[in-house]
Chains A and B, each alone.
Chain A
Amino acid sequence: MNEILELFTYQFVLRALIAGSLISVCTSVLGVVLVLKHYSLIGHGLSEIGFASLSIAAALNIPAMIISTPSVILASFVIMFVSQRYKTAGDIAIAIASSIALALGIIISSLSGSVSSTSSYLFGSVLAISQWDLVFSIVLSLVIIAAFIVFYNRLFLITYNEDYARSLGINTTFYQLLISILTALIVVLGMRIMGTLLISGVIILPAVSARKVASDFRMLVIISGVISFVAFVAGLLLSFVFNVPAGAGVIIANTLILIILKVLVK
């Protein structure tokens, strides 16, 4: 126990704890909207596109955020547009785009000899969070929470029935873009600590677990955030105890919570 507590005296662990907790809460809050709107796979698609951009950044030896942020935002617009425009083709588009992006990422990192640096992104690393990432995580989390408070009634309506919102004269495209940008930014931040292969689980699992107990949208958002926070801290501890990547620990913690709720709540 003392050894675990001692870990939190290290700066990089504290950074991972604070940034990871904030990112987890925000991904789960956005995850509620994405899951209810049947856009669950978006996080998966974006993170693999993010992996390709990280590989390009590593090959060119430039800061990852410079390439990954705009490319993931652009990809989120395209995925949202295709999902909305062609409904059932949305999942297919995500599956194709994410496979191609992952393949490209692996090829680029293999050719450029940067496999070792980019492979840590696949499964995540607590070492990946820099001081700037921490600042960016805090700012972005505040923006996401503020957006959720200010636009709560709108997000509720648009998530429930977008057509009805449009019939009231509401510009639903603006809110779609807002959700796209926030999801893209949180994925870019989160994929480095959780891993590009695992970040989508952090988006989906807390919302699915929370649906077992929440009776309304507000409670769903709050419970999802709480579950995600608890799962992140538990997952981080698991990763230290068993010496496994943080993202894997967080996903296992989330899965255990889901199983417990499935068993306990009828």
Chain B
Amino acid sequence: MNRLTLENVVIKYGDITVINDVSLRVDSGEMIFITGANGSGKSTLTKTIAGLLPISSGKITRAEKISYVPQIEEADRNFPAKVREIVLTGTQRKGKLFYSKHDKELAKRFTNALGIDGLVDSEIKTLSGGQLRRVYLARALCGEPELLLLDEPCAGLDAESHEILFKVLCEILSKGCAILMVTHDDLDLTGIKANRVIRIEGGKIHE
């Protein structure tokens, strides 16, 4: 089943073309790595797919349930919130105002899976960078996404956390989720096999 289609997509910042006439198709169960040098447009592309940036031309067709983990979360580290509340927000969708029992079970399941179950009642301002990263990953997974966009998910995670993350990703891939992961890392170290590796260079993609 198709989860994402990009047709001749062009993304510009003012007069600068960042992504130039890119087409891509991603199906359920596919894991795609997006690589490229700094400033090549990897994060811009994922942010656009997440619906946070407009396209200048072309067409994007995406699955309804998307979860996105940005490279840097633009949120106040001192915001008065506990881990449990932040994780649960991942289950919110258009037209859905309250959390169900199922949502709370998902939050419990993914906080357990990512090894942060002991932190659910902690205030987020007390967490380390790596712990907060796992909170955001748990939040994204809670949304039971059909398409998961991960921008440098391994940044700030230790080796054990990598292993835990990839185990969870393998599980959701087997359930039909498609994953698009931006990574700088040496692919051999990621511990997970990508179906395709895409390199962005000069605004174009090369497979």
- Chain A residues with CB under 8 Å of chain B are 36, 150-151, 153-154, 156-157, 159-161, 163-171, 211, 214-217, 219-220
Taking CB atoms, residues of chain B closer than 8 Å to A168 are: 66-67, 90, 92-94, 143
**B85 nearest CB across to chain A (Å):** 6
Q: Tell me the complex Cα distance, A61–B50, Å.
A: 53
Contact string, B67-95, partner A, CB cutoff 8 A, digits 1/0? Answer: 11010011110011110011011101110
B74 and A153 contact, CB distance less than 8 A: no
- Give the Cβ gap from A137 to chain B, nearest Cβ, in Å: 26
Are B76's CB and A36's CB within 8 A? yes
Q: How far is the CB of A155 from chain B (nearest CB, A)?
A: 10
The reply to whether the CB of B185 lies closer than 8 angstroms to some CB of chain A is: no
Give the shortest distance, in Å, between A170 (CB) and chain B (any CB). Answer: 6
On whether the beta carbons of A170 and B93 are closer than 8 Å, the reply is yes
| 7 more CB-based (< 8 A) A-B contacts, given A153-B99, A160-B76, A169-B94 | A165-B92, A167-B51, A168-B66, A168-B143, A169-B51, A217-B80, A217-B81
Complex alpha-carbon distance, A151 and B73, angstroms? 23
Size category, B interface: 20 to 34
Question: Which of B51, B68, B76, B89 contacts A157 (CB under 8 A)?
Answer: B89
Q: B residues near A, CB below 8 A?
A: 50-52, 64, 66-68, 70, 73-76, 79-82, 85-86, 88-90, 92-94, 97-99, 123, 143
With A153-B99, A167-B50, A167-B51: A219-B92 Cβ-Cβ less than 8 Å = no
* Chain A residue contacts of B86, Cβ below 8 A: 160
In the complex, which residues of chain A have a beta carbon less than 8 angstroms from the beta carbon of B75? 160-161, 164
**Is B92's CB under 8 angstroms from A216's CB?**
no
Q: Could you name 25 residue pairs across A and B whose Cβ atoms are closer than 8 Å?
A: A36-B76, A150-B97, A153-B89, A153-B97, A153-B98, A153-B99, A156-B81, A157-B89, A160-B75, A163-B74, A164-B68, A164-B70, A164-B75, A167-B51, A167-B67, A168-B90, A168-B93, A168-B94, A170-B93, A171-B94, A211-B80, A216-B81, A216-B85, A217-B80, A217-B85
Chain B residues with CB under 8 A of A153: 88-89, 92, 97-99
Chain A hits for B74, CB < 8 A: 161, 163
Residues of B within 8 A of A156 (CB): 81, 85, 89
Knowing A167-B68, A215-B123, A216-B123, the reply to whether A160 touches B79 (Cβ < 8 A) is yes
Instruction: Give chain A residues whose Cβ lies under 8 Å from the Cβ of B99.
Output: 153
What B residues does A217 contact at CB under 8 A? 79-81, 85
Cβ–Cβ < 8 Å partners of B76 in chain A: 36, 160
User: Which of B51, B82, B97 has a CB less than 8 Å from the CB of A166?
Assistant: B51
- The residue among B74, B75, B76, B89 with the most chain A CB atoms within 10 A of its own CB is B89
* CB <8 Å contact, A166 and B52: yes
Q: How far is the CB of B131 from chain A (nearest CB, A)?
A: 17
Docked Cα-Cα span, A214 to B143, in Å, equals 28
A160 touching B81 in the complex, CB below 8 Å, given contacts A166-B51, A167-B66, A169-B51: yes
